[in-house]
Amino acid sequence: MSDTPRKTLRLPVKVEGEETPVNPRRKPIRGKPTVKVRRNPTDAGPELAEATPARKTDWRAKKPARASGAGPEKGRSESPVGHSTRPPTSGKPVDGKTGRDRGESAGRPRGEIGRGPAPANIGSGMVPRQTQTTPRSNPSEGVRVSKLMAERGLCSRREADSFIERGWVYVDGERVSELGSRVDPSAKITLDKQARATQQRLMTVLLHKPVGYVSGQPEPGFQPAVTLVLPENQYHAPDTALFHASHLKGLAPAGRLDIDSTGLLVLTQDGRVARQLIGENSKVEKEYLVRVEGKIVDNGLALLNHGLELDGKPLKPARVEWLNEDQLRFILNEGRKRQIRRMCELVGLRVVGLKRVRVGKVRLGDLPLGKWRYLREDETF
């Protein structure tokens, strides 16, 4: 260690009764009072009392009572001194006048923006814009627009709901855009050009269904006939439309053809076609070639034409005739489940083969078994 003595810092010795000098450049510390000990001015003498400033008035103190004698409103606090007050406004006009018209905002400083809703333009000649496009009607009366459209054959009810949601339906010239709207049964209904264009894009397929395929819902171990609608199974003819995957969306059979039967099966995306073929009031004929075996009962052929009933309900008149000793031709206007087979059983015959060859004006023709084609524009049922 070095022998040099260490220097120590010496603080100035404070003499009793002597005041400590204050640095004039030192700024006071914010938040701390300059006087640590508060003393009563009356005990410190007149000099200290005069030097102590008067305490400021608390702004939270209650204001004096109003000139009218009414005290502060219950549930409301007084406004600070120097701030303007304004009475509460609901923003709704009373007797056709708003709060501004009645002069309620007279005490409000100029340029202050109110927080209440803007007053309605009443008496200014402005009419609010109507956004509802549904024609006026009593909800409890009339007929639903979608049902009326389906009954008139404009489209199916499902398509009608879709067109209404898109605003493509007009009733007596007014646009309908609300589902469940009811109108007068005699109202005039028209479709927008976009709806008509959509209907023209809907496809109808004619399929020569083989035995072993079900026409509707798939059954265990069997495939639905719609699975045969593939590009490789399309029957090409002059001016044939090309297959597109979108043509399978919503494609459903319009009529049944049981698993043991073959022939023409119609599948369509168009609800109008489906309703025309299988609707309650459908009058479209279906023609079948039926091969039978057994001995027919007396006047059995007459009963096949008219006089039989299934499930307790009479059948509509049909046209049935012999083509040869074991083959019959059936022309029906209805399509109950396994109707032809059950009709033959009632007269002593058993069906061994059934083929549908015509639906309305459309014939099966030379369409090969298991193949399909589009319904042409010049073809109608």
Catalytic residue among 258, 311, 326, 366: 258
Verify whether residue 43 is a known catalytic residue: no
Choose among 379, 145, 147: nearest CA to 268. 379
CA–CA–CA angle 349, 350, 351 (5° rounding): 120
Per-position DSSP letters for 2-44, written without gaps between them: --SPPP---PPPPPTTPPPP--TTPPPPTTS-S-SS---HHHH
Cα gap 187→194, rounded to integer Å: 21
Cα gap 332→335, rounded to integer Å: 7
Cα gap 224→226, rounded to integer Å: 5
CA distances from 135 to 140, 152, 160, 169, 286 (A): 14, 19, 16, 11, 41
Residue 258 has a CB neighbour count (10 Å cut-off) of: 17
CA distances from 321 to 55, 83, 290, 351 (A): 121, 103, 10, 15
Burial group, residue 271, by CB count within 10 angstroms (0-12, 13-18, 19+): buried
Question: Hey, what amino acid is at 110?
Answer: R
In eight-state DSSP terms, residue 94 is B
In eight-state DSSP terms, residue 74 is T
Catalytic residues: 258
